[in-house]
Amino acid sequence: MSTYVRILKYVKPYWPHLAGSIVCILFFIVFSSVTLLSIQPFLSTIFQTGGPAAPAEPQIPDPAAGLSLQQSFKAAVEKIYEIFMGPDWSSRPLESLHRLCIMLIAVVLLKSLFEYLQAYFMAFVEQGVIRDIRNDIYIHLNRLSLGFFHGTKTGELISRITNDVTLVNSGISASFFTLVKNPLLIIVYLSLAVLLSWQLSIIAFLILPFSLYLISWIGIRLRKESTRSQERMAEVTSVLQETIAGTRIVKAFAMEHFEIGKFRHKTNEYFRTLLRLTRTRNLASPLTEFLGTMVGVGVLWYGGQEVLKGHILGPEEFIFFLILVFSIMQPVKELSSVNNRIQEALAAGDRIFRILDTEPDVKENPRPVRHVSFKKSVAFRRVSFGYNPSEPVLQRISLSVRKGDVLAVVGPSGAGKSSLLDLLPRFYDPTAGGIEIDGVDIRKMRFSDLRSLMGIVTQETILFNDTVRNNIAYGLADMPMERIRKAAESANAHRFISRMKKGYDTVIGERGIKLSGGERQRLAIARALLKDPPILILDEATSSLDSESERLVQQAIDRLMENRTSFVVAHRLSTVQNADRIIVLDRGRIVEQGRHAELLRKRGLYKRLYDMQFRDEPAAPLSEEER
């Protein structure tokens, strides 16, 4: 129930449109009832039986006893007919038929108008709620910590924002349209039927307990099946996203058949769960219709005998009663599916709110300290960290880096190099100790203030399916073109950008797929240069490049590092040799530190790494043409 209440909170801002929709539903029901009520005078006019006739053997009521409820209803209907068609309408059948046709056209027109307005108002509510939920999920995802995305499949998140939100929309429509319209139609039709004949109406009520039990039982099963089907859909989306993102590797290893088989397996699982869901969902309507038909046949069998004997109703009244009973079947059928749609919406809502209820591991201080400059140093104070508390990645790291210094971090794979640098922009928080900038703990700073001090260039370059200009000036729509071009020139990117057909307005594709690795890296460096941060984080920025691209990127990095405090996960010899200090990590601890020459003389872990990885000579400077 709490899930349903939370979904309803999204409807609250749209209450004027919702109220308009409900008002239109009420008018729709009124004109639908009038449409049905016009059937009896049509029958009376065509069969020349007069107005709302009494039974075949009318009973003379006792004046002292007053009129019965059924007699009062018939008298009221007769009065309505006289108002619209004249007091002697039954004696002028042809004129009455003309008036009835005109009245029916007008009533149906009004009914259709209010049905259209109701659909428009309801669509405004539904689409508004969909937009708001999607926006909230997206905003919340952007606030979650990096660790959340490392443990959650991208396809699953996409499925939540697309498929699950659509199911929630279906539940809203069911709640405020079907649950309002159909019960009212059923009440109106049953009331008219009771007023015509309470004896025959009792038979019609026999369907109610069976339908309620049926709807409840199916709804419970449907919620479980809906959860399974959406989980399978998330798996399908995840495989699709991974395959498209990794299509180069798939083709390089000739694994197309393997990926096709995996995708088919997931779609088959989804197919089976969807069949179970569809089987359960579609069970209510035909069963309810069958029960309703049984009731209708029962009324026809019993009531027909009574009419023939002249005990209950006149022929045209009995036909009208049958039309009322069978008219009830459609809203009952629709009502039987409401619970199914609501259960599916609740199952989807549970999955959505699980994401919205996920708290970020790294939270901004509610009373942050304003700190927008960097003047002295960055200090790590006995910092420990682990993705899993029982498995520490870093242990008691203490170091201080002065403004303008270059710190290189080296070590074997898994030593904690990247994890150490991820703590600086607060992608993660230390499990013990702290990090200070100019003596201020970074956990007291605003995220925006902290990260505005830093430029980050990693081995995995992230670019967007946008123009070169917008990728360099990421999020800076008003950045002058001259500054963008200057940043590109400093990053050795202007030359290849100029060769593109549209230059800086060229769209580079998703993740920069239309560019080479070196070109992507130089755009990332240009982006960092344009930001002009005082602190620079380089995480193996040239490790996956060929020799030519490496020279271009390395010189761009050297320009980027000028007059900046730099933290570098070292991969290339030139960066290590020029660093003001090198720290060597092993199993999360600093085992050596010093300058390049000092560490070589110690003949420790650094010397062994140097012999294995850094024995090549420094790269040659760029030629004039390459510049």
Write the pLDDT tens digit of every residue in 409-427: 988 888 888 899 999 999 9
Q: What are the CA-CA distances from residue 68 to residues 188, 196, 205, 342, 596 (Å)?
A: 20, 11, 22, 42, 108
Which residues sit opposite 455 in a β-bridge?
536
With helix as H, strand as E and coil as C, how does 391-455 read?
A: ECCEEEEEEEEECCCEEEEECCCCCCHHHHHHHCCCCCCCCEEEEEECCEEHHHECHHHHHHCEE
**Tell me, what's the pLDDT at 60?**
43
**Tell me, what's the pLDDT at 208?**
57
Is residue 364 situated within a structural domain? no
**Tell me, what's the pLDDT at 43?**
62
Q: Rounded distance, CA 109 to CA 325, Å?
A: 24
Q: Rounded distance, CA 496 to CA 518, Å?
A: 11
Torsion of CA 292, 297, 302, 308, to 10 degrees: 130
Q: Are residues 443 and 530 both part of a single domain?
A: yes
In three-state secondary structure terms, 559 is helix
Q: Are residues 121 and 49 both part of a single domain?
A: yes
Which residues sit opposite 445 in a β-bridge?
369
| Strand 377-385 versus strand 394-402 pairing type | antiparallel
Q: What is the DSSP letter of 620?
A: P
Q: What's the pTM value of the predicted model, to 2 decimals? A: 0.70
Whether 496 contacts 519, CB under 8 Å: yes
**Tell me, what's the pLDDT at 378?**
93
* Residue that is last in its domain, among 356, 389, 424: 356
Indicate the burial class of 551 (C-beta count within 10 angstroms; 0-12, 13-18, 19 or more). Answer: buried
With helix as H, strand as E and coil as C, how does 34-57 read?
A: HHHHCHHHHHHHHHCCCCCCCCCC
Dihedral over Cα of 64, 69, 73, 76: its sign: positive
Strand order in the sheet with 377-385: 394-402, 377-385, 432-437, 440-441
Dihedral over Cα of 464, 468, 473, 478: its sign: negative
Q: What are the CA-CA distances from residue 137 to residues 31, 134, 160, 341 (Å)?
A: 42, 5, 9, 22
Whether 376 contacts 358, CB under 8 Å: no
Q: Are residues 334 and 413 both part of a single domain?
A: no
Is residue 372 situated within a structural domain? no
**Tell me, what's the pLDDT at 443?**
92
**Tell me, what's the pLDDT at 346?**
83
Q: Rounded distance, CA 403 to CA 223, Å?
A: 59
* Residue that is last in its domain, among 356, 390, 405: 356
Residue found by looking up tokens 């089987």 in the block = 279
Q: Are residues 334 and 429 both part of a single domain?
A: no
Distant-in-sequence, close-in-space partners of 8: CB < 8 Å, separation ≥ 6: 175
Q: What is the DSSP letter of 588?
A: T
Q: Are residues 392 and 321 both part of a single domain?
A: no
Q: What is the DSSP letter of 541?
A: T
Q: Are residues 314 and 424 both part of a single domain?
A: no
Domain boundaries, position 592: 377-613
Q: Are residues 280 and 402 both part of a single domain?
A: no
Q: Are residues 242 and 382 both part of a single domain?
A: no
Total number of domains constituting the chain: 2
Is residue 384 situated within a structural domain? yes
Distant-in-sequence, close-in-space partners of 263: CB < 8 Å, separation ≥ 6: 236, 239, 240, 243
Taking the CA of residue 508 as centre, how many other CA atoms within 13 Å lie in the half-sphere pointing to its CB? 25
Is residue 148 situated within a structural domain? yes
Distant-in-sequence, close-in-space partners of 492: CB < 8 Å, separation ≥ 6: 522, 552, 553, 555, 556, 622, 626, 627
Distant-in-sequence, close-in-space partners of 278: CB < 8 Å, separation ≥ 6: none
**Tell me, what's the pLDDT at 432?**
92
**Tell me, what's the pLDDT at 281?**
64
| Amino acid identity, position 324 | L
Give the mean pLDDT of the chain.
Answer: 77
Backbone region of residue 465 per phi and psi (left: phi > 0; alpha: psi in -120 to 50; beta: other values)? beta
Spans of the chain, pLDDT less than 50: 49-67, 616-627
Is residue 161 situated within a structural domain? yes
CATH number of the domain enclosing 52: 1.20.1560.10
Q: Rounded distance, CA 422 to CA 419, Å?
A: 5
Q: Where are the alpha helices (DSSP H) in 283-379?
A: 284-309, 315-356
Structural tokens at position 193: 């039927």
Whether 423 contacts 417, CB under 8 Å: no
Q: Are residues 488 and 345 both part of a single domain?
A: no
Is residue 582 situated within a structural domain? yes
Is residue 363 situated within a structural domain? no
CATH number of the domain enclosing 466: 3.40.50.300
Whether 542 contacts 574, CB under 8 Å: no
Residue found by looking up tokens 């004109």 in the block = 31
In three-state secondary structure terms, 614 is coil
Indicate the burial class of 54 (C-beta count within 10 angstroms; 0-12, 13-18, 19 or more). Answer: middle
Structural tokens at position 429: 């928080």
Is residue 415 situated within a structural domain? yes
Q: Are residues 496 and 600 both part of a single domain?
A: yes
Q: Are residues 135 and 201 both part of a single domain?
A: yes
* Residue that is last in its domain, among 304, 323, 356: 356
Q: Rounded distance, CA 181 to CA 514, Å?
A: 54
**Listed residue (300, 445, 444, 345) closest to 10, CA to CA:** 345
Q: Rounded distance, CA 549 to CA 555, Å?
A: 10
Q: Are residues 322 and 253 both part of a single domain?
A: yes
